[in-house]
Amino acid sequence: EYLFTLHSVIRSSVPLMEMARDRARSMAAGDRVAESLAEYLDKHIEEERDHDDWLLDDLESIGVGRASTLARVPSPTIARAVGAQYYWVLHYHPAALLGWIGLLEGYPPTPETIDALVASTGYGPKAFRTLSAHAELDVGHRDELFDLVDRLPLTTDQSKVIGLSALSSVDLLTQALDEVTALGANHPRC
């Protein structure tokens, strides 16, 4: 359930960033923040491309087929979390997405967390290859993102929406993980 929930989040990453990049490009002529954001997203989209497929591989390693994962209805909580990002990007400013990215990239999984997942689930390390890769990749991604935010000439309201995006995301993703925990309490391997 945890890996499925992660997949539900990660599969939205590239399409969400592409939409934010396109919106930023459309605003770039008169908006230095949008211009810099579009440049950042061009690079970051390529860095994140296919990570949802990595998770499908991880799920396959524990016997969960790609087709069944892709056919499952994602959690309404995940839909609300991702949907909020679309709303802010389309109806306010694409800088809002930096709060979401900051949360997802800013706190990479630790090797200890991955070891605990292996131990508590009984699944081997193959089930957590995506998490292991992000334990390394996200350190650099976090640093790049924080450097970008420090350099951007953000308005007070743009800073505010980044914070609102991050706080809303923490709330909703915590709720999604609580839902996973509730499901896991009834599962013999958790």
pLDDT tens column, 105-152? 988 899 999 999 999 999 999 999 999 999 888 888 899 999 999 999
Q: Which residue has the tokens 């997405």?
A: 97
List of the chain residues with pLDDT < 50:
189-190
100 class by beta-carbon count within 10 Å (0-12 exposed, 13-18 middle, 19+ buried):
buried
Spatial distance between the Cα atoms of 123 and 133, rounded to a whole number of angstroms: 17
pLDDT at 145: 95
Task: Report d(CA 57, CA 105) in Å as an integer.
Answer: 21
The three-point CA angle 172-178-181 to 5° equals: 150
Instruction: Give pLDDT, residue 190.
Output: 44
